[in-house]
Amino acid sequence: MQNNPNGPYDEMFNNLAKIVDEIVRNMPEAQHARIIGYTIITRHATGDPACFHGGENPGGDDIPYEVVETDTDIFITAVIPSDAVHMPFADIQKNTVHISVDDRTTAIMLNHPIDVIHSAYRVHRGVMDVTLKKLPQF
């Protein structure tokens, strides 16, 4: 990642991210710990506050999400738009998850079939967490 010449703290933030990663790796039972994302809020000299995203979902979906996979589970974290009128929901299928908010739907194709009965989602403070149990492979 290239540093911004007008952002003297870029190197410090990169080092801070490495420190946090090292702390998490050295925690007890850290083999299941994952850093999905983080936000650093700094002073902004001029203009309105803004949100800068590190990248887009494949296909430029309306609802941003991240996927983390372990040997037994798949975790999806989606950011619910702040202008949502209705409660969001996740339609969990064996090979896909559809996240719907109002008239927007994002389809997430899964690389591994999942056990629909033992999978679930919850929405809390503008974030949807989907926990999917993988089907055992024989």
Note the pTM of the prediction, 2 decimals: 0.58
Closest CA to 131 of 115, 122, 120, 117: 120
Task: Please name the residue that has the structure tokens 């995203």.
Answer: 53
CA 109/CA 95 separation, integer angstroms: 6
The answer to whether residues 16 and 40 touch, using CB atoms and an 8 Å cutoff, is yes
CATH code of 65-134, in short, is 2.60.40.790
Residues 6+ apart with CB under 8 A from 127: 77, 78, 79, 80
The pLDDT confidence band at residue 49, using thresholds 50, 70 and 90, is: low
Mean pLDDT of all residues in 19-47: 65
Three-state DSSP at 12 gives helix
Domains of the chain: which residue ranges? 65-134
Q: What pLDDT shows up at residue 108?
A: 93
Summarised one tens digit per residue, pLDDT across range 94-137 is 999 999 999 899 999 998 999 999 999 999 888 999 999 999 88
